[in-house]
Copies of this chain bind each other. A is one copy, B any other.
């Protein structure tokens, strides 16, 4: 056991920190400004400064870092990093959450879609969709969540995908489809049911649906606390009415949808969590700065006990959380998704509430301004609050985690019950009396 990053990680961290300091942070205002003058407010990835930043990132080899070991076939792009190597880089991008992930072509939901195509796509699918995604030329969306069911459980999905000759015909309703308002989101990975009669985890399949497919209607944009998140393509409601795609658009095989969704989940979870740890670190910095600069009742906030308590708590909490996320990344690298199951659940539970708490205190330190557009805090709060639902509400994960814990303990009890009772070294004194 040791706790230092390896040399490759350190080198990448330095380069990325330098990119952030020199280029990304200074460009944040520019990005927002240029975004404001777009004809289509959703077309965020056409903002000029983003293109320039991306060029710089590619020049430095800070491109598609998320695409890990095993995905990086010769000739393919992707950095071939382990989860543990990538995780601290994801944290750094969280310090500029609206811009940095996009600069590195490491923004959700494209990362997950690229992983899926890289692992399960046919050669034709990869050529048509993965290559332009890896090049940052197009965007994509992942259409799983449905308004009418608790879709945290993928087996509840009701959208139907029916084979009809050489096509699949899709009917259903989706919402919270992140990025889909962006006209440059050219392809949607749609999850639906191909075989309602099959085993619970074999009913679902995934198909690729190009944006311009007839019958695919991109409806209203969902808001989160008043934000429409147009700077990463919003969250769309979709209606699919007799949407017809060629059978070759199936990803993997029929019935593999649930398994693919699970495979997509683990790394994405780690990316999200690490980015939000970066968000929290930035919030702690802002809290410290404000606390030094703001005087109330004759003393800077930084010298007032309650504010110090918040700062200390923030540090204590974030240190613990980061270690757990990093350990989860290590487990995924060494024992795989399945062996890391409890930890993957644990970071889903621990991250949003920890970061939310820190953001709340950072906001409070800033006074009413902390809730406004003048600081990134309220926006980040909205983001992390929504993480308490993403991939299923915390409560679902806690329930599952407890069941596993109870199961492990029951196994120990059973084993003990079938073992000879251990004998004390000595006869109890009392037994002679």
Contacts and interface: CB of A to CB of B under 8 A. Distances in A.
Interface of A: 1-6, 21-23, 25-27, 29-30, 33-34, 37, 48-49, 52-53, 56, 84, 145, 147, 150, 152-153, 176, 222-228, 284-285, 288-289, 291-292, 294-297, 302, 304-309, 311-313, 315-316, 319-321, 323-324, 326-327, 330-331, 342-343, 346, 349-350, 363-364, 367-369, 371-373, 378-379, 381-382, 385-386, 388-390, 393-399, 401-403, 405-406, 409-410, 412-413, 422-426, 428-430
B29 A428 contact: yes
Interface residues of A: mostly helix, strand, loop or mixed?
A: helix
A358 to B, nearest CB: 12
A311 B413 contact: no
Contacts of A2: 1-2, 84, 330
Contact of A27 (B176, B346, B425): B425
A158 to B, nearest CB: 13
A410 B291 CA distance: 11
A413 B302 CA distance: 15
Contacts of A326: 1
Contact of A350 (B21, B320, B393, B401): B320
Return the 3 tightest CB-CB contacts between A and B, nearest first: A305-B305, A226-B226, A226-B227
27 contacts: A1-B4, A1-B5, A1-B6, A3-B327, A21-B422, A22-B422, A23-B425, A30-B428, A34-B429, A37-B429, A48-B429, A147-B369, A153-B296, A222-B372, A222-B373, A225-B381, A226-B378, A226-B379, A289-B413, A292-B406, A308-B402, A308-B406, A309-B399, A312-B399, A364-B388, A368-B389, A371-B385
Contacts of A37: 429-430
Contacts of A324: 319-320, 323
B410 A292 contact: yes
A266 to B, nearest CB: 16
A424 B27 contact: yes
A378 B150 contact: no
A409 B288 contact: yes
A412 B281 CA distance: 14
